[in-house]
Amino acid sequence: MNNDNIIAGEDTLDPQTLLKKQAGESAAEHVKDGMVVGLGTGSTVKWTILKLGQMIEDGIKIIGIPTSVRSEVLAREAGIPLSTLDAHPEIDLTIDGADEVDAHLNLIKGLGGALTREKIVAACSKKEIIVVDDSKLVDVLGTKAPVPVEILPFALEPCKISLAKLGSEPVLRMNENKKEVYKTDNDNYILDCRFDSITNPVELEQRINNTPGVVENGLFLNLIDLVMIASPDGVRTLPDQFS
Ligand code: 5RP
């Protein structure tokens, strides 16, 4: 497919979408010929995926490992050859979005629902870049976003009770029509757990994941190498350099 057809002209984009596009496209510059690339999920990394499609048209050869059905469909449309973790358990570089980013490169992810596959892919990646606009930066995790927790449907009520005991207000995620329960690509539910502020994310991540019935949670700690942040002043990185 010619990717020009699926990339809107910049003059039609609202300011925040334009920032997402700038962050997403900048990260694609880190993708080199021959790489196995983890493809994150969301409206920011969408621009990375489309840019990678253009780079493939221009001759680069890469293999993508998508983190969601949504990204798989988008990547196929963009012409990115795809594979699986079974065939490629070691990923050179993953690019993904985030819902909150703190100064230590720790994240909340999963408002898009793909947290479990995203965390597995992140753990299999030699390097992970996060692309965000500057509205995602926070001093303390939990300031704006709830922590999404993917759970087995069988364990809904016990998980609600346990996660409330950890100090959150768990809310079962619904589809946009508010009538059906949202289901992840793994056929599980998500409890969005709002915590007042998360002062010890390492302990909280362990306690959430020690709850029977919890599959994974959206705290991404010590998994990220670089965050690319788009603001009206341009795209800056945290830390300054890719180490
Ligand atoms: C999906 C995610 C997304 O990366 C996160 O929600 C950010 O999405 P967007 O770039 O659309 O704001 O974690 O599970």
What is this structure's pTM?
0.94
Q: State the closest ligand 1 atom to the C-alpha of 115, by its place in the atom list counted from 1.
A: 14
pLDDT for residue 7 = 55
Which residues are near ligand 1 (CB < 6 Å)?
A: 40-44, 96-99, 109-115, 118
Q: Known catalytic residue: 118?
A: yes
The candidate with the shortest Cα–Cα distance to 109, out of 101, 118, 99, is: 99
Q: How remote is the CA of residue 125 from the centroid of ligand 1, in Å?
A: 18
pLDDT digits (tens, 9 = 90+) for 203-212: 999 999 999 9
- Quick one: DSSP state of residue 34? T
Structural domains for the chain: 4-137+222-231 (3.40.50.1360), 147-215 (3.30.70.260)
The candidate with the shortest Cα–Cα distance to 48, out of 59, 62, 34, is: 62
Share of the chain above pLDDT 90, in %: 92
Q: Whose CA is closest to atom 1 on ligand 1?
A: 112
The candidate with the shortest Cα–Cα distance to 227, out of 27, 45, 7, 18, is: 27
Q: How remote is the CA of residue 100 from the centroid of ligand 1, in Å?
A: 9
Q: How remote is the CA of residue 98 from the centroid of ligand 1, in Å?
A: 5
pLDDT digits (tens, 9 = 90+) for 144-180: 999 999 999 999 999 999 999 999 999 999 999 989 9
Backbone phi, psi, residue 190, to 5°: -125, 130
